[in-house]
Each structure stands twice: as C-alpha cells, then as structure tokens.
Structure 1
Amino acid sequence: MRVEEFDYELPKSAIAQRPAPVRDTSRLMVLYKENGKIEEALFRDLPRFLREGDVLALNDTKVIKARLFGKKTTGGKCEVFLLKDLGEGRWEALLKPSRRLKPGTEILVGEAKLKVLERKKDGTKIIAFPEGSDPYEIMEKYGELPLPPYIKEKPEDPERYQTVFSRTLGSTAASTAALHFTERLLQELKEKGVKIVHFTLHMGLGSFRPIKSENVEDHNVPPEFYIMPEETAKEINLAKREGRRVIACGTGAVRTIEGCSDKEGVVKPGSGWMDLFITPGYRFKVIDGMITNFHMPRSSHLVLVCAFAGREKVLEAYKEALKRGFRFLSFGDAMLIL
C-alpha cells in the first residue's frame, strides 16, 4: 500500500502542547471496528467499556533523561540524544551538529567526557560514556526528558511525560496511550474485575521517524528491547483459552504481544528485540481491543491502527475527531477501539 493512503491534514492547532489538567480527564473516542460507530466519553469512563475478565496490558517502561547538552573539548556546543543502550557504556545516539561530531570527537557533559566511536549508515552515532561510570546517573544529573519535536513547551511537571506505573528505565519516548491512567482509575478497573498485567518495551527512534518510503511495506521499524514476563504471558493465554478479551494499551503493546505469539496465538515469555511492523492484511492472533492516542499522518503507529480497525473507519474517525476538537498526538486525547 502507498504511504499517501495513510495521510490526512493535521492542523497545528490540533496538536496538544500540554497534557490535560488531570490525567483521566482527557477525552475518549470509542470506535467500534465492526460497524465504524463512534461514541464520545472521558478517559475516566473507561470502566464502562471494559468487562469483568478482560485483560489490560500496560507497558511499564520509564522514559530516561535522554537529551544531554554539552560542548566539544574544542568549545562548540552540541546535543546528544540517546536512543539505545548497547551495553558496556556504549549507546546509539543522534548528535547535533552531526557533521562536526566525527568519530574520535570528545564531548563534555558536565564533568563527564563522552566519546564518539562510529557513525552508522542511518546517520546515528555510537558513543561511549567514561569507563566505570553509570550512564543513568549522568543522565539523571545533566539530562532532560526527550519531548517530541512538535511539543514546543515543557510541561510544568516533567512526571506528566511518565505513566503512573513506569518503573523500568530505558525508553526515549513515553507510552503516550497510558499517560491518561491515574492510580484511582486503575483501582476502579481492578474492582470491576479487569486483570491488569505489565510488560516492558523500551521505545526509541521508531516513535520519531515518519515513513519515508513510497510503499508502506518497504518501511523498517527499528528494533526495540522488550521483556514479556512469564506471569503476563500466562494471564493473556488463559484469557484467550477462556474466551475473554485482551486489551492492549498502546501500539507498542499491540506489537509486543502479537510479536511474542506463535502461529496459534500463544504468547511466549522472554526478552529480546522487537521489530514487528504491522500493516493492513496482518492477521491479529491475540489482541481484541486497543487504547491509543491520535497519531501523526504517514506514521507506522497510524498504519497499525488502520490494520486493526480498517483504514476507512479510522480515517473517518480521525476526521470526526478533528471536527469535534479532540487533541492529537502525545499530550492529546485517547481512542478506545473495540
């Protein structure tokens, strides 16, 4: 399919620049994929739409302070955007100004001296933190949360770019569909009999890169590290055997759960690198419903949502959402697809 089939006009005024005053007061559009019918609610109304016995899968990743501002030892200012932990103090990163930061260049970030090791074909660089140092400590001390480029103002409370259940450090992009949850709402869902399970997907470059190829199928999603706990896989598999629904929160949740399942739809526990790219025609084996935000035109996230609910229905729902003043992208409103 051609990428232009997943295009729509997104006015700048529709891009949310700040989160809702209270997380669960975001608006919620419910789309029924069988008939394309839509319903409007608030996110805190979610328990109305979920049933006793549903399994809700949440990503517990925590966003790292991946933006580091420093200077070359020769004096020029530069920025390091950390993307992926490669182990042993080495990270994949985006550097600015990229051309001037060649392999061998040293960058001072506070008291830490980072070194550029190599340039990859896709334009990213491999950098090394000082031997014996803890990169996460350096990030915590000198770094900033990596807000998406379309958000022009920093939130007053940086924690609003973290979910209330985030615990496993490693992402450079938030699980934005899950930003709407509050502790009270999670408790309400549990009391209704919804089983809440967690997994980890550290989201990175894939969340920032639009599809540049003419054909959707030619696009590659950069691999992202995941952990599928045994208990989570067990609960999902039990639900499927008993005919109960599995609801994924976020496109990352859909990819991870589907990617961990075999041909029969049995989810296997484990960890590794997830590069599943879901396009229309994909046969969903596990997921029955999903919570997601409103996505960028021509993005892999939008393609996945269209694969799940049907391109025409999704684009029609987006058109209606814009008409009704829904807020789009990371700090925007939410969508529940059933």
Structure 2
Amino acid sequence: MSNKELLTSSYDFHLPNELIATHPASPRDHAKLLVYNRKTDTITHAHFYDLEKFLPQECALIFNDTKVIKARLYGKKQSGGKIELLINRALNANDINVYIRGKVKPSTEILFDANLKAIIKELNADGSRIVNFYHNEKLLRFEDLLPIIDIIGHIPLPPYINREDNDEDSTQYQSVFAQQEGAVAAPTASLHFTQEQHQRVCKNYKHAYVTLHVGSGTFKPVETDIITEHPMHSEYYNISKDAKELLDSNTPVLAVGTTSTRTIEFYARNKNKTKGEANLFLHPNNKPLKVEHLLTNFHLPKSTLLMLVASFVGLEKTQELYAEAIKEKYRFYSYGDAMLIL
C-alpha cells in the first residue's frame, strides 16, 4: 500500500456547489446509481430502481433500521439569550451528549417549549456538552424525552444542506424501514428505497437488520495529516438475532450503507458482542473482513466515509469513481445519488 493512501490530503476533491443535493430525488428510487464491478473493472450508469438487475444472486442484504429523531431544538436561557441545541447521543438513561450554539456554563438552564428544559451538567473538551432534560421539573429518561422532541424538535439536516427543515424532511430524511429511534443523521443509502422496492428485495433476497444510531461525528472531517491518527467517534449498535445468524454463516453480504458496514465489520472483529459501542474506522489499511458488496452515497471530502469506500476499492479507484460521478453530474451527500460496489 502506498503512503499516499494514508495521507488525509489524498481524500480531498473539489465538488461544484450545484452537485450538493439539497432535496431528495422524487420518487426516492429515481436517484441515479453508479455501479462499479471490481471483477470486470467496469462502471455502469443506471437508476436506483434498476438495483435488482445488478444484485448478485447469492447475497444477503443487511439494512440499518435506525430512526432519525428530531434532535435540533431551539430554546433560550433564563436571561433571554437564544440557544440552538443538537442532541448527539444518550450516554445513559439521563445524561445526554449535545452540541450547543451559544455560550453556556455548568448549571445553565435552557428553556424550551412544552415545559421542557435542559440543565448543563458538564462541558467537554471536544466542544460537546452533557445535559439532563426535565419536563415539568421531572428528570427525564432518554426514551421519555423522545415523544416530547418529536413535537417541538426539528429534523437535524446536515450542515451542508444549508436550509431550514420542512414537513417533507420528516418523512424523506428517514428510511421506509426506520424502526429504532436514536440517530441524529440518516443512514443515507437507505433513503433511496421505496416501500415497494424494499418489500420486493426482501422477498427475493436473504436480509436482516442491524441498528447503528448515527451520531453527528459522521460529518466530522479528518483533521490529522495521517488518517490513522484520527480519533474515531463511537456510536451505539445492536445486531439482531437474524443478522447474527446471517453474519455467522458463509452467505456473501451486501451492506446497505456505510453505517451497516461499520456495524457488520465491528461485529466481525468482536464476535462475542452483539451490542454496545462501535468505533471502527475502515480505510485502505483496515479493509473489510465480512462485507463483500457495498451500496452507498457519495461522501464529503476528507471524511471517514470516503476512506471507508477506499477500503473496498483503494484510493486510486475511489478518486476515479468520484471524478466520473462529478463528470456525469451525480448529486452528492445525504440527499444525493447512490453507488453500488460489486
């Protein structure tokens, strides 16, 4: 492997602004699909509704059934100063890790609609904060907070979408098979499936679900010069019984998205753990052990997700595929088009 594959600068590229998707394809399955076959070293341009034409006969699809919560909250301090709070993840029943736009110190109270308030417990060195939420002065467990923020919160669209969320986002920034509440970002390869296509694929192929609650760290660019020095964020995961059976078998696996990939590969390295915290960083120096095929979107420059793609096809081929996608005007990022690596 060349040293180039370990340099963060190798994963930079210029993306014309107009290729950043700010709204989803409609219908969902009308997104474009770039198919790269490693055996024949060929690229095919198609649409997502063509997916089944390309799926290998003998493979099991693993989906991430996490559900995006309305994690962005707007409130104010008792002094009247406005605050924007983004829930990142639950640390335990009561302590929630959040990001806050606005100055706060420990014990600061932030007031929201519906008699909800947050009290700052701790300031972390990485810029995040630990808070407790109260409703009518009663300390809330994370699962009791969810129905409240579902009413007063906002879908946490990624920063590069650069617009306020709307009603459409409540359904569109969510997969049709989302079940387990807890993510603050969508597993975006999943967003292309319509209900019909998902049912059809599940009828014709072995499949199972894992859960990985995607955190906001997924958007964080790698800031170290050498990619292996990047401190990888961790996220809660759970491997269902059906998924464990499939992953313990010899069936070739197609991971729907980078989040499913990270979950499967974390499990492949920690066979005795079906749930907990996953912090696996896949890159050309740490290749997949279990996932044979990858369905994914097009990712941010210098992101761990782009490096994950390179763990499947190498840096040079990743650069080539992305250059081709830009030339063919594919739409990028969360609401963008898809790529299938066979």
**Interval containing the TM-score (normalised by the shorter chain):** over 0.9
How do residues 26-105 of structure 1 correspond to structure 2 at under 5 angstroms?
Answer: 26-97=31-102, 100-105=103-108
Aligned to 2:3: none
Q: Are residue 315 (structure 1) and residue 319 (structure 2) matched?
A: yes
- Separation of aligned partners in 2, 1:2 and 1:332: 26
Unaligned runs of 5+ in 1: none
Matched residue, 2:179: 167
Q: 1:95 Cα shift? A: 0.4
Larger CA deviation: 7-16 vs 161-170:
7-16
Question: Deviation of residue 189 (structure 1)?
Answer: 1.7
TM-score by length of 1: 0.93
Q: 1:337, CA displacement in angstroms? A: 0.3
Aligned twin of 2:243: 232
Equivalent residue number for residue 341 of structure 2: 337
Determine what percentage of the aligned residue pairs are the same residue.
Answer: 38
1:182 pairs with 2:187 = no
Q: After TM superposition, what 4+ stretches of structure 1 lie above 4 angstroms from structure 2? A: none
User: Shift in Å at residue 60 of structure 1?
Assistant: 0.2
Q: Which moved more, 1:155-164 or 1:291-300?
A: 155-164
Q: Is contact 1:33–1:313 with CA below 8 Å preserved after alignment?
A: no
1:148 to 150, 155, 158: 158
- Let me know the Cα RMSD of the aligned residues: 1.5
* 1:297 aligned residue: 301
1:322 aligned partner, one-letter code: I
Secondary structure of residue in 1 paired with 2:198: helix
- Measure the CA separation in 2 of the matches of 1:183 and 1:145: 21
Q: Which amino acid in structure 1 is aligned with residue 219 of structure 2?
A: F
CA apart distance, 1:230: 2.0
Counterpart amino acid of residue 183 in structure 2 = S
* 1:25 counterpart = 2:30: yes
Decide which of 256, 261, 267 is 2:263's aligned counterpart. Answer: 256
For structure 1, which segment, 282-291 or 150-159, has the greater mean C-alpha deviation from structure 2 after superposition?
A: 150-159
Instruction: Give TM-score, length-normalised by structure 2.
Output: 0.92
1:83-140 deviation line (CA, Å, top 9, x unaligned): 011223220000011xx21111000011212100110111100011113432112211
- On the 8 A contact 2:219/2:303 being kept in 1, the answer is no
Does the 8 A contact of 1:118 with 1:127 survive in 2?
yes
1:172, 1:46 → 2: CA distance?
27
The Cα of 1:205 is off from its aligned counterpart by 2.4
- Name the counterpart of 1:126: 130
Q: Secondary structure at the match of 2:172?
A: helix
Q: Contact 2:282/2:288 (CA < 8 Å) preserved in 1? A: no
**Structure 1 stretch displaced more, 162-171 or 313-322:** 313-322
Instruction: Determine helix, strand or coil for the equivalent of 1:314.
Output: helix
- Between the two proteins, the alignment pairs up a number of residues equal to 328
Structure 2 residue identity aligned to 1:186: H
SS of the aligned residue for 1:260 comes to: helix
AA partner of residue 143 (structure 1)? G
CA contact (8 A) 1:233 1:268 kept: no
Task: Show the 5 A alignment for 1:193-208.
Answer: 193-208=204-219
Letter aligned with residue 310 of structure 2: C
Q: Say if 2:336 is the partner of 1:325.
A: no
Give, as a single letter, the amino acid of the residue that structure 1 aligns with 2:244.
A
